[in-house]
């Protein structure tokens, strides 16, 4: 009943295509270069992040501009436990994810009482404040000099493949969580909150509880991604673990693909990362500026996201419809 | 109970009751505090003094969602269904979160959804997104959502506003049908025909106070009421 | 004594903050747009002053009106071309738009001017007023004075001119203003232009006392938001007080915790204010 993007339906060729794609993804490490495996892993990570943002921003309608704080908490918790505490990966990762979730629940209670702009800036400020704090606590975290994690045993190739599958696994879990929610009470409740919170309240929805749950789940996934990132890249610092552009990238990916849908975030992530990669290799210098321009274009011309546009078929892709999008929100 | 907004007291020393199974009309000139009253009962606003009791249980301190689950549902003055969701999704939400909602399974909620759609004649539109609907249909969707919650008390806030005379007649019939099923209804209205035709009792508010309370024929002849609506001149020599 | 010096420095700094905040809150209040790129416009204003100084030898105080004019134009065009398209869109879309804009401008600046810090050093920069152990450079006093003048002009424009009042009317009730014949598109253009002009003016003043680089505007979002939340949207006096309070908090924090914590202070303060303010002041009005 709820929009789940353009899923396969019952058309046999589509099913076959999906199966082939799935097989290709699973088999990728065997026939791809190390670079491609790395890129794919990064792509999966951003898909996870986009999916996590979708829970609070797309479904509940609370535009968080600071979700990177959970990523960073996951990264640093995992990093510190492994580097300073000698703890092995799995428990460190779990600890990072749980700490991120706890943080979301704690900060969420006051912050989720805010709406719109206030919420956006409060989350942004939280992430930035955390970055500054981590940066200043040099004794504990290594501050601006960063933290080095122990290297995983094994060849570079083998390690790369390990993280590929790990990140893929988390992605599948993130998709499952999203898909699961969309069919349950929680999903309907969040959508109602997004549409009209007061009307949702008088319809019997415990908005506070649901918002915190969405926020917590979002944090869990983001922190998980962060913890894996830390061990994968083996070096984190406040700049890369709490980078504000990661927050916005997640958001733009969801916007690009289609907010509130199941497949929107991964599609958006794929397109944006593909674009970034293309720009980077061709236009090293202007890359970041072009990314800014791309963001502007996306938000102006594709307010509903790519999936919606594709869903309208040829009509959706025409210049006329793009222009119409441009005018939609004008004064 | 008393509530002040930045210096203006919107409701003052208001005491009234609504009896089970009746249709209570609430009227009064603009700004009298009718919608504020509905907001208080549904929990979106809190009184500064006084108490609100529903079936002996105090509603003070309960959030709107808890109040809904006790069996109170409401509509809004400017209808507020969930616009980007479909009609079915809107009503399903009422069925899922209303009084019996939390103990219902999804299938049972779907059954309630279908029942309610039928009652309000919305089956045809069930997969349409609300943003494509007319105002009258949106009001029906909002009403359906409220009904799907299985309330014992229904608060209708100016549900007739913006409807043409035919639609008003239909709406009145609907309200009567719902009331015949045992529902207690509080109707805030400006449309006199509807209020006079539906209410067994009317409460008149003016500047946040109750100035009359009684049967429709009595209330419309009450000089205080006439004065409130039309000014002192018209009150003299009547009733 | 150290605190007194810090306090004075803070108040003087606050003048600049006030100008920045006035511009930011204008756009927020009138157009309901939070301009993430606002700090970047401050940066552009600083660069106008820098280039005017190093290429033309123009005294920085004299280039304040120049920066303001240039930034007004940039702002007006930006609004007309971009912001205008999304004024009625959901909030997070305008946030993303201004974020993208910010990213674009900052990186173009980085490409054009590189990341090295520039400074504007007029000959009188080192002259200062000393009294009782306190040192106040004349430039800082002058900057404070000019920022007060700019703020006053802003206030007068908003309340005494016809255009200013049209802007206020638009802010209070868009539909009513439209009905009365106010041309909303033009008003929005002017509003945004004034906002960026204020940012430009602040940037020009900032260039005199702080190093200029493409990334200098980054910290301002948190700061202006705090000032707006503290001082109230649409209140010039509020922005003034808020600016000075923030200035003092920052310099005070630098003394107590160390210079690295200066920016963190405004962020933590912001969070505290947002969290502790009674929800009645922040939530949407019901009816």
pLDDT digits (tens, 9 = 90+) for A210-253: 999 999 999 999 999 999 999 999 999 999 999 988 998 898 89
Chain C, nearest residue to B45 by Cα:
C286
pLDDT averaged over chain B? Answer: 82
Contact between B155 and B74 (Cβ < 8 Å)? yes
| Pick from A183, A195, A198: CB nearest B85 | A195
Lowest mean pLDDT among A281-285, A290-294, B134-138: A281-285
What distance in Å separates residue B5's CA from the closest CA in chain A?
A: 19
What is the rounded distance in angstroms from the CA atom of residue A78 to the CA atom of residue C227? 36
The reply to whether residue B69 touches residue A185, judged by beta carbons under 8 angstroms, is no
Confidence of residue A10 (pLDDT cuts 50, 70, 90): low
Q: Is the pLDDT of residue A281 over 80?
A: no
Find chains touching chain A: ≥3 CB pairs under 8 Å: B, C
- Is residue C122 domain-resident? yes
> Can you give the CATH number for the domain in which C7 is found?
1.10.3470
- pLDDT > 70? residue A207: yes
Who among A191, A196, A202 is closest to B44 (CB)?
A202
Core vs surface per residue B224-234: b (16+ CB within 10 A) or e? ebbbbeeeeee
pLDDT for the residue C283 = 33
What are the tens digits of pLDDT across the range A75-117? 999 999 999 888 999 999 999 999 999 999 999 998 998 888 8
Cβ contact, residue pair C95, A65, below 8 Å: yes
Query: Which DSSP letter does residue C58 get?
Result: -
User: In this predicted structure, what is the pLDDT of residue C287?
Assistant: 21
Contact C108 A289 (CB under 8 A): yes
Pairwise pLDDT comparison (A227 vs C60), residue with the higher score: A227
Q: Is residue C238 part of a domain?
A: yes
- What counts of helices (H) and strands (E) characterise chain C? 12, 2
Interface size, chain A vs chain B, as Cβ–Cβ contacts under 8 Å: 80
pLDDT confidence bin for C41, thresholds 50/70/90:
very high
Let me know how long chain C is.
Answer: 287
Residue B7: is its pLDDT beyond 60? no
The model's confidence at residue B183, banded by pLDDT at 50, 70 and 90, is confident
The superfamily in CATH containing domain B1-71+153-239 is P-loop containing nucleotide triphosphate hydrolases (3.40.50.300)
Give dist(CA A261, CA A187) in Å, integer.
11
What share of chain B has pLDDT > 70, as a percent?
89
Helix (H, G, I), strand (E, B) or coil at A25: helix
In the structure encoding, which two tokens stand for residue A283, read together?
């236009």
Whether the predicted pLDDT of C6 surpasses 70: yes
In chain B, residues with a C-beta closer than 8 Å to the C-beta of A200 are 82, 93
Residue listed under structure tokens 């083996």: A234
Q: pLDDT at position B22, please?
A: 84
Q: Please give the Cα distance from C14 to B31 (Å, whole number).
A: 44
Cα nearest neighbour of B78 on chain A: A199
Residue A270 has pLDDT above 90, yes or no: yes
Query: C101–A296: do the CB atoms touch at under 8 Å?
Result: yes
Average pLDDT over residues B184-195: 86
Residue B139, Ramachandran bin (φ over 0: left; ψ between -120 and 50: alpha; else beta): alpha
Q: Which carries the bigger pLDDT value, residue C116 or residue B103?
A: C116
Q: A189 and chain B: CB distance < 8 Å anywhere?
A: yes
Instruction: Show the domain range for C63.
Output: 2-282
pLDDT of residue B237: 46
Asked if the Cβ–Cβ distance from A329 to C286 is below 8 Å, we say no
Q: For residues A51-55, give the mean pLDDT.
A: 96
C-alpha distances in angstroms, C202 versus A57, B18, C229? 34, 62, 20
Q: Which secondary-structure segment (H or E) carries A235?
A: strand A235-236
C69 pLDDT more than 90: yes
Nearest CA in chain A to B66: A204
| Number of Cβ within a 10 Å radius of residue C6 | 20
Residue A132: C-alpha distances to residues A64, A141, A229 (Å): 19, 12, 20
Using the CB atoms, write b or e for B13-47: b if 16+ within 10 Å.
ebeeebeeeebbbbbbeeebbbbbbbbbbbbbbeb
Return the pLDDT at C284. 32
Q: Which residues contact B177 (CB under 8 A, 6 or more apart)?
A: none
Specify which of A44-48, A63-67, C276-280 reaches the highest per-range mean pLDDT: A44-48
Q: Which residue of A has its CA nearest to B102?
A: A185
**ipTM value:** 0.86
Residues of B in contact with C286 (CB under 8 A): 39, 44-45
- Output the average pLDDT for chain C: 85
Q: How far is CA B7 from CA A309, B3, B11, B44, B218, in A?
A: 51, 10, 12, 19, 34
Does residue C287 lie in a domain region? no
Cβ distance B43 to A202 less than 8 Å, yes or no, reads: yes
Is 50 exceeded by the pLDDT of residue C160? yes
Chain B: residue whose CA lies nearest to C284: B44
Residue C194 has pLDDT above 90, yes or no: yes
CB C60: neighbour CB atoms within 10 A? Answer: 26
Within 10 angstroms of residue B111's Cβ, the number of other Cβ atoms is 13
Question: For residue C96, is it within any domain?
Answer: yes
Per-residue pLDDT at A101: 97
pLDDT band at B238 (very low <50, low <70, confident <90, very high): very low
Which partners does chain B have (≥3 C-beta pairs < 8 Å)?
A: A, C
* Confidence label for B192 from pLDDT (cuts 50, 70 and 90): confident
Q: Is the pLDDT of residue C45 over 90?
A: yes
> What torsion do the CA atoms of B206, B212, B213, B217 make, to the nearest 10 degrees?
-110
Predicted confidence at residue B21, as pLDDT, reads: 82
What are the angstrom distances between the C-alpha of C222 and each of A292, B190, C40, C154?
A: 21, 48, 13, 22
pLDDT band at A284 (very low <50, low <70, confident <90, very high): low
> In chain C, what percentage of residues exceed pLDDT 90?
32
Say if residues C22 and C198 touch (Cβ distance below 8 Å): yes
Q: Contact B1/B50 with Cβ under 8 angstroms?
A: yes
A74 band by pLDDT with thresholds 50, 70 and 90: very high
Cβ pair C287:B39 closer than 8 A: yes
Q: Is the pLDDT of residue A208 over 90?
A: yes
Per-residue pLDDT band for C49 (boundaries 50, 70, 90) equals very high
Q: How confident is the model at residue A69 (pLDDT cuts 50, 70, 90)?
A: very high
CA dihedral angle for residue C74, residue C80, residue C85, residue C90, rounded to 10 degrees: 60
pLDDT category at B12 given cuts 50, 70, 90 is: low
Domain ranges of chain B: 1-71+153-239, 77-151
Range in A259-273, B113-127, B218-232, C49-63 the model is least confident about? B218-232
Taking the CA of residue C181 and the nearest CA in chain B, the distance in Å comes to: 27
Number of domains in chain C: 1
Contact map slice: B 48-87 vs A, CB within 8 A: 63-65, 67-69, 73-74, 76, 80-86
Q: pLDDT, tens digit, for every residue of B161-177?
A: 888 888 888 888 889 98
pTM: 0.85
pLDDT category of residue A71 using cuts at 50, 70 and 90: very high
pLDDT given for residue B35 in this prediction: 85
B99: DSSP letter: T
Smallest Cα distance from A12 to chain B, Å: 26
Neighbours of chain C (3+ CB pairs under 8 A): A, B
**What whole-number distance in Å separates Cα of residue C26 and Cα of residue C38?**
11
Backbone dihedral region for residue A270 (phi beyond 0: left; psi -120 to 50: alpha; all else: beta): alpha
What confidence score (pLDDT) does residue B220 get?
81
**Helical packing angle, C138-160 and C2-31, nearest 10°:** 30
Name the residue with higher pLDDT: A234 or B19: A234
Compute the distance between CA of residue C203 and CA of residue C209 in angstroms, rounded to an integer.
Answer: 10
Mean pLDDT of A50-59: 94
How confident is residue B8, by pLDDT bands cut at 50, 70 and 90?
very low
Find tokens 């009816």 and name the residue. Answer: C287
Surface of C (228-287) touching B: CB under 8 A: 286-287
Residue B81 above 80 pLDDT? Answer: yes
């Amino acid at each position: 009943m709820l929009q789940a993007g353009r899923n396969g339906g019952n058309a046999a060729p589509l099913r076959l295509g999906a199966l082939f794609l799935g097989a290709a993804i699973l088999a990728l490490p065997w026939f791809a270069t190390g670079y491609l495996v790395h890129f794919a892993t990064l792509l999966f990570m951003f898909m996870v992040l986009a999916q996590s943002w979708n829970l609070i921003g797309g479904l509940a309608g609370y535009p968080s501009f600071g979700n990177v704080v959970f990523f960073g908490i996951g990264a640093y918790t995992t990093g510190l436990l492994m580097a300073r505490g000698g703890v092995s990966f799995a428990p460190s990762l779990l600890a990072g994810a749980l700490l991120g979730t706890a943080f979301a629940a704690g900060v969420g209670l006051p912050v989720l009482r805010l709406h719109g702009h206030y919420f956006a800036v409060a989350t942004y400020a939280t992430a930035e404040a955390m970055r500054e704090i981590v940066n200043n606590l040099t004794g504990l975290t290594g501050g601006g000099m960063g933290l080095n994690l122990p290297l995983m045993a094994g060849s570079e190739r083998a390690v790369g493949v390990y993280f590929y599958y790990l990140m893929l696994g988390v992605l599948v879990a993130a998709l499952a969580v999203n898909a699961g929610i969309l069919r349950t009470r929680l999903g309907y409740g969040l959508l109602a909150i997004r549409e009209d919170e007061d009307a949702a309240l008088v319809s019997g929805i415990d908005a506070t509880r649901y918002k915190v749950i969405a926020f917590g789940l979002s944090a869990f996934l983001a922190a998980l991604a962060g913890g894996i990132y830390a061990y994968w890249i083996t070096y984190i610092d406040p700049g890369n673990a709490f980078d504000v552009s990661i927050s916005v990238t997640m958001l733009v990916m969801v916007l690009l693909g289609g907010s509130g849908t199941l497949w929107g975030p991964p599609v958006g992530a794929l397109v944006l990362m593909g674009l970034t990669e293309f720009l980077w290799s061709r236009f090293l210098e202007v890359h970041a500026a072009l990314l800014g321009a791309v963001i502007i274009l996306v938000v102006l011309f594709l307010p509903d996201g790519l999936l919606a546009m594709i869903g309208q078929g040829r009509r959706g892709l025409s210049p006329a419809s793009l222009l119409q999008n441009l005018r939609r929100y004008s004064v | 109970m008393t509530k002040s907004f930045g210096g203006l007291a919107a409701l003052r020393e208001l005491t009234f009751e609504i009896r089970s199974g009746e249709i209570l009309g609430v009227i009064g000139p603009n700004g009298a505090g009718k919608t504020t009253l509905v907001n208080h009962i549904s929990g979106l606003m809190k009184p500064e003094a006084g108490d609100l009791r529903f079936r002996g249980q105090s509603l003070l301190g309960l959030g709107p969602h808890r109040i809904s689950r006790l069996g109170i549902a409401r509509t809004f003055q400017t209808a507020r269904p969930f616009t980007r969701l479909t009609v079915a999704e809107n009503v399903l939400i009422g069925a899922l979160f209303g009084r019996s909602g939390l103990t219902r399974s999804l299938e049972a909620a779907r059954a309630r959804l279908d029942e309610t759609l039928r009652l309000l004649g919305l089956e045809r539109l069930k997969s349409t997104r609300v943003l494509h609907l007319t105002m009258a249909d949106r009001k029906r969707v909002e009403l359906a959502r409220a009904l799907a919650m299985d309330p014992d008390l229904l608060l209708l806030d100016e549900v007739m506003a913006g409807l043409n005379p035919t639609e008003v007649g239909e709406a009145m019939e609907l309200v009567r049908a719902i009331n015949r099923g045992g529902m207690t209804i509080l109707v805030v209205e400006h449309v006199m025909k509807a209020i006079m035709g539906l209410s067994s009792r009317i409460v008149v508010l003016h500047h946040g106070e109750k100035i009359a309370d009684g049967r429709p024929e009595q209330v419309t002849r009450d000089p205080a009421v006439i004065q409130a609506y039309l000014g002192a001149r018209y009150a003299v020599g009547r009733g | 004594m150290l605190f007194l010096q810090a306090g004075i420095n803070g108040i003087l700094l606050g003048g600049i903050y006030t100008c920045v905040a006035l511009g930011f809150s204008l756009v927020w209040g009138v157009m309901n747009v939070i301009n993430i790129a606002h700090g970047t416009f401050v940066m552009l204003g600083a660069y106008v002053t820098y280039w005017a100084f190093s290429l033309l030898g123009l005294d920085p105080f004299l280039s304040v009106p120049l920066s303001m004019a240039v930034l007004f134009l940039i702002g007006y065009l930006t609004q007309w071309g971009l912001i205008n398209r999304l004024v009625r869109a959901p909030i997070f879309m305008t946030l993303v738009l201004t974020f993208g804009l910010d990213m674009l401008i900052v990186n173009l600046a980085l490409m054009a001017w590189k990341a090295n810090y520039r400074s504007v050093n007029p000959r009188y920069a080192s002259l200062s007023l000393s009294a009782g152990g306190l040192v106040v450079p004349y430039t800082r006093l002058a900057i404070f004075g000019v920022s007060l003048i700019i703020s006053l002009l802003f206030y007068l424009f908003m309340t005494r001119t016809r255009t200013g009042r049209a802007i206020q009317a638009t802010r209070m009730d868009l539909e009513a203003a439209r009905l009365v014949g106010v041309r909303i598109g033009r008003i929005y253009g002017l509003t945004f232009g004034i906002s960026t002009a204020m940012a430009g003016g602040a940037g020009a003043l900032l260039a005199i006392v702080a190093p200029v680089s493409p990334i200098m505007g980054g910290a301002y979002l948190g700061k202006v938001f705090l000032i707006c939340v503290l001082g109230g949207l649409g209140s010039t006096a509020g922005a003034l007080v808020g600016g000075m309070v923030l200035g003092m908090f920052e310099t005070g924090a630098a003394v107590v915790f160390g210079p690295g914590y200066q920016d963190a202070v405004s962020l933590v303060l912001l969070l505290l204010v947002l969290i502790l303010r009674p929800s009645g002041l922040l939530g949407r009005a019901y009816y």
